[in-house]
Copies of this chain bind each other. A is one copy, B any other.
Amino acid sequence: MNLLKSPLRSLLHLWCLCVSLVALVAEPNGVLGQTNETVWLESWNDCPTKRALVEYVGRVSDPNHKDFVPVPERIAVFDNDGTLWPENPIPFQLAYAFDIVTKRAANDLEFAKEPMVQAVLNKDIATLTAGPKHEGLLQVVAMTHAGMSTEEFSKSVSDWIQTSKHPRYGRGYDKLTYVPMQEVLRYLRQNEFKTYIVSGGGADFMRVWSERVYGISPEQVIGSAARMRFEMRDGKPVLIKTLDNLFVDDKAGKPVGIQMGVGRRPVVCFGNSDGDYEMLQYTTIGNPRASFGAIIHHTDAEREYAYDVAPKSTGKLVVGLQEASAQGWFVVDMKSDWGRVFEE
């Protein structure tokens, strides 16, 4: 295979290297861009989180720094609802379930008579969330997330996300991702981090659009999931969705989901709610690698929702906000830290 003699090849390599370097420097997204936060995090105002993130990334990607993290270990995990896109007035996956139930009820009068279908139609959240395990909601999830093949479910989600609109913003749910967080995803990937979604939402629900919307491939989506059933139907293999052995990828389940799906401890974690506290602990406490943790704090009633400004619950979010300073977790004040929230 050596078409060219060795000294000539060496010369060519040297040439190639020089020319490539010049070309990279001349590119807006080239080598110099990697450390230029004005390009990568342009929707962020100057704030402690932005400064710390840039400093952290610079440190762990510098092979001469004691905190250097080898590329395969650069795992960054992100909650989805409330961290990468809103979770109000209801989590978007629940909006999907309600829309599907509503649509089916219009064509199926027997189905429409069922009490929990009635509760959906009447927006009777109290009935749906009654009981310690929110049995009503679980019934709605079962109606809309089980009994069909993964392909049928994917198609249903894909159709929905391309046609439905958020009640407040009047645009598709997939057009409501937080621009500053999209920038963090790209900035980390540019610095050879692998970005994962680790969400209480359904893995199969997110995987339909995660690559298009966040640039996160299905393999890097970890979420709640039940055990599917493999079947041959009409001579073709299908996976049927069930609710058996449901794994809830939330709270203490998140580190478990990470171990099952990644098998490595993350070094970067962004979350926002009660459900993300243990994932923050797992990423940052006692990690032999230098790590970075942040909480998105919903403080902006004007552009988004200010639902956790003064949380009254005794949930883990309150604990997380209280502990943040001691743990070295950064708290993102959406109102003051983000120059914009959504794509214009």
Q: Is A20 among interface residues, defined by CB-CB distance under 8 A?
A: yes
Residue A247 CB within 8 A of the other chain: yes
Q: Produce 1/0 per residue, A256-292, CB < 8 A to B.
A: 1001111110000000000000100110011000000
Answer whether residue A309 sits at the interface, using C-beta atoms and an 8 A cutoff. no
Asked, given contacts A9-B26, A263-B203, whether A255 binds B237 with beta carbons under 8 Å apart, the answer is: yes
Given A1-B26, A1-B27, A237-B285, 17 additional A-B pairs, CB 8 A: A1-B36, A2-B26, A3-B26, A9-B23, A12-B22, A16-B19, A16-B20, A72-B211, A219-B262, A219-B264, A230-B255, A230-B256, A235-B286, A237-B255, A237-B278, A237-B281, A237-B282
B-facing residues in A198-255 (Cβ within 8 Å): 203-204, 207, 211, 217-219, 221, 225, 227-230, 232, 235-237, 239, 245, 247, 252-253, 255
A311 proximal to B (CB < 8 A) = no
Chain B residues with CB under 8 Å of A25's CB are 3
State which of B12, B72, B237, B262 has its C-beta within 8 Å of the C-beta of A26: B12
CB neighbours of A19 from chain B (8 A):
12, 15-16, 19
Query: Is there a chain B Cβ closer than 8 Å to A33's Cβ?
Result: yes
| Cβ–Cβ contact B227 & A239, under 8 A | no
State A150–B263 Cα separation when bound (angstroms): 10
29 contacts between A and B (CB under 8 A): A1-B26, A1-B28, A1-B32, A3-B25, A3-B26, A12-B19, A12-B23, A12-B26, A15-B19, A16-B20, A16-B23, A20-B20, A72-B217, A150-B259, A194-B219, A219-B261, A219-B262, A219-B263, A221-B263, A227-B256, A228-B259, A228-B260, A229-B252, A230-B253, A232-B281, A235-B285, A237-B278, A237-B282, A239-B255
Interface string of A1-45 (1 = CB under 8 A from B): 111100001001101100110110111101011001001000000
A96, B57: Cα distance in complex, Å: 40
Among residues of B, the one whose C-beta sits closest to the C-beta of A263 is B218
Q: How far is the CA of A253 from the CA of B239 in the complex (A)?
A: 10
